[in-house]
Structures are given as structure tokens and as C-alpha cells.
Amino acid sequence: MTCLAGHIVGSNCAFRGVLTFADGRIAAAREDPDVTPDFGDAWIVPGFVDIHTHGVGPHTYPSEEAVAGGSEWLVRFGVTSFYPTVASIPPEGYEAFLRTVARLAGRTGGARIAGAHLEGPFINPVRKGGMDEHALRPPDADVVDRLIAAAHGEPFIITLSPELPGALPAIRRFSGTGNIVALGHSNASTEILRSAVDAGARIVTHLHNVFLRPGEIEADSVVRDALSFVYGEARLWASVVGDLRHVSADWLRRDYKGLGPERFVLMSDLMPGAGLPEGEHAMPDGRRYVTSGGVGRLADTGVMAGSVVTLNRMVMNLMSAAGIGFPEASHAASRNAAMAVGIGERAGALQPGMPADAAVIDRTGNCLATYVGGRAVHRA
């Protein structure tokens, strides 16, 4: 049995007290205003859930070694569950990746490998962003079924463009088989978004990046309406890259207000090279990109291709941008992320009975310690 005393971020309120871990789970969360904290004034939070990360440190998915290595790296940033993400590869590559992740499910040692996130291949080429156009295609029932079969029943996330022909049946099929459909890389109108949500889609991937772009929101009422729909649709969560480069502090604040404290999700879109000195790195498809000033850009075109800011830092960014406290901001990377991808019963809350996945974050955002299943997997 392990006890962890300090400033605990609960689901609805923060309190000073003691968490007790037993058999990998939280046995008790007890208030005690007189307890001596183990980590000074640092916060004890539910471990972060990174729903969209392409790599970290020297690791670039989809290889099995990289996913296992990513699991060990991410705990340095308070992440206890993650969805390794791949983009811009042929359909067979996505199938192989799903098989890899299914094989690794249940692996222990670092952050839990909660499932795969496929960013593609059903992406609208006019909204490709940093993706390789040759790897994109409209949904096809046969490919959809092959992806579902390759996952061996391990739920995955798939980001797709709902305006593509065949997208709605694909959304129904993916969500009907227990997977999470995310909408992104899109120019869909409100009408299409509503049909997609009716069909089972439940989250928006990087809200303002190659989707509802701030410049278009100002200029185009169709895009403005689509954003209002996302803000107002209670069945939909929206994820935002909180690195202050993909999205400005002003938009972080507006989105947090628009979506409310429960449907705003921080996503890292983390790239290999995160956590390493800035410089040139290779994408999974071999293209080169450069990390500089906290962002990754394709070496040849300069297009922004992902972030190198980790979730613990994004929580601090959200806190100052939205003018909210640390506990509220941290929910965007833990509770809200877990709820959005359907794992809220086993991640994102420090409640008795839940897996003992927790992180200790100091007042400047540094991760001092991380626990997965009650075991210390990181100590700064």
C-alpha cells in the first residue's frame, strides 16, 4: 500500500489530503487539512491522457519499439495513458499499426497504451495540412472493415473528414464497433457536422488547425456557424493544441469559454524530438522536419506539422490564457480527454476504485513524479 499526501485535484474540487493506492487502484482519497505534503505545494492530478501524439524524444511511431519507447518517455510529462498516432501512411500501414498496438495493449512499465489513433487515411486532400497527399483517400467499406479487423477488438480513434463521399457510413461502422470517430482536416459545414455527430462522431481533432481556422471564422459565416455548432453540441468534445503556436492564447480562452469546462480537451499533437534539443528530425514517412521555437515544421515547405510542447506545459498555457486555476486547467488534459475517448471509467479521475494513475506537477508545470497502477514510473 502506498500513500501520497498533498494538494489533490479531485473531479469536482481540489483538497489537501491523502491518496492511498492498493493493488494498482486508488483505495481511498481522504481530506486532511493538516497533512504534510510529500511534494510541497505541488498538485497531485489524475495522470494526463494524451489522445494524439506522433512520437516523443527519439521515438517515431508506428514501429513497435517506438510505441514501447514512447510509453516510457511520456511519463516524464505526467502522461499515464496515450494513443500513439500515425498519419500519412498507406492503408496497409494503418492496419499493421493497429495490430502492433493491439499486441502491446496491457504492456506495463510506462504510460498505458490506451489504443491507436489513426489520423487518416480518410482525409480531404484540400485540408491535408502537413500530410502527404498520396496517402489520402475517401472512405471505402472494404478498407473500413479491414481496419476494424486489424484492431482485434481493441478500440481505436480515427480522425476523418466527414464531408468525403462515404464518410457517414464509415462513421456509423467505426462507432458501431466501439471505436471513436474524430472529425478533423475538414471544411465541413454545420449540416455535415450534425450528420456526422448523429452517425456517432464524438470529438473534433485540433479544432482550429486545417479545420475552423481563425481567419476563416472572421471572414466566412459558414465557418462561423460551424464553430458555433461545435461549441453548442453537447455530444461533441473538441481538442485544441495548447502550445500557443497552433492556436493563440486568445483562441484558447474563447474555446474554453465556448466549449465549457467539460468539453474542452487539450491534445499535444506531439512530434518526435519533443523533450530533446531543437533540431532536424525524421517523420515516420521519412520526410525531414525541423523543431524550433517549440514547433515542428516540414523542412522543405515550412508547413507546421505538429508540436513539441508536452501536456504538462499546455495545462499551464491554458491556465494563463483562460484565466482559470490549475485544477480546472488540468481537467482538460485528464478527465475531459478520458471522457472524450470513452475511457472515463478507468482514467482521468482520482477516485476510489479507479486505476492509481497520477502525476505530481509543481507550480511551474514541471512533472515531479508519475504513478501508473500505483507504481512510481517517474521521479524528477
- What binding mask, one character per residue, do residues 260-279 give for Zn ion by CB under 5 A, x or -? ---------x----------
Judged by beta carbon, residue 20 or residue 124, the one nearer Zn ion is 124
The DSSP H or E segment spanning 53 is strand 48-53
Q: Distance between CA 144 and CA 364 in Å, rounded?
A: 44
How many chain residues are in contact with Zn ion, going by CB under 5 A?
2
Amino acid at 108: T
Judged by beta carbon, residue 5 or residue 337, the one nearer Zn ion is 337
Nearest distance in Å: CB 148, Zn ion: 21
Nearest distance in Å: CB 212, Zn ion: 16
Judged by beta carbon, residue 341 or residue 369, the one nearer Zn ion is 341
Contact 70, 286 (CB under 8 A): no
Site for Zn ion in 100-119 (CB under 5 A): 119
Judged by beta carbon, residue 255 or residue 269, the one nearer Zn ion is 269
In SS3 terms, 72-136 reads as HHHHHHCEEEEEEEEECCCHHHHHHHHHHHHHHCCCCCCCEECCCEEECCCCCHHHCCCCCHHHC
Contact 249, 214 (CB under 8 A): no
Judged by beta carbon, residue 50 or residue 119, the one nearer Zn ion is 119
Q: Distance between CA 248 and CA 65 in Å, rounded?
A: 35
Judged by beta carbon, residue 100 or residue 370, the one nearer Zn ion is 100
Q: Distance between CA 59 and CA 251 in Å, rounded?
A: 31
Judged by beta carbon, residue 239 or residue 334, the one nearer Zn ion is 239
Please tell me whether the peptide bond between 58 and the residue prior to it is cis, using omega within 30 degrees of 0.
no
Contact 54, 270 (CB under 8 A): yes
Nearest distance in Å: CB 87, Zn ion: 6
Cell of 87: 498519419
Judged by beta carbon, residue 95 or residue 119, the one nearer Zn ion is 119
369: CB partners within 8 A, 6+ apart: 39, 359, 360, 376, 378, 379, 380
Q: Buried b vs exposed e over 129-156: b needs ≥16 C-beta within 10 Å? A: bbbbeebbbbbeeebbeebbebbeebbb
Judged by beta carbon, residue 123 or residue 361, the one nearer Zn ion is 123
Judged by beta carbon, residue 19 or residue 203, the one nearer Zn ion is 203
Q: From its phi and psi, is residue 129 left (phi > 0), alpha (psi between -120 and 50) or beta?
A: left
Nearest distance in Å: CB 54, Zn ion: 6
326: CB partners within 8 A, 6+ apart: 9, 43, 315, 319, 361, 363
Nearest distance in Å: CB 199, Zn ion: 22
Residue 50 interacts with Zn ion (CB under 5 A): yes or no: no
Nearest distance in Å: CB 181, Zn ion: 15
Q: Distance between CA 142 and CA 89 in Å, rounded?
A: 17
Cα dihedral across residues 57, 307, 271, 11: positive or negative: positive
User: Which phi and psi (to 5°) does residue 128 adopt?
Assistant: -75, -20
Nearest distance in Å: CB 11, Zn ion: 28
Site residues for Zn ion per CB under 5 A: 119, 269
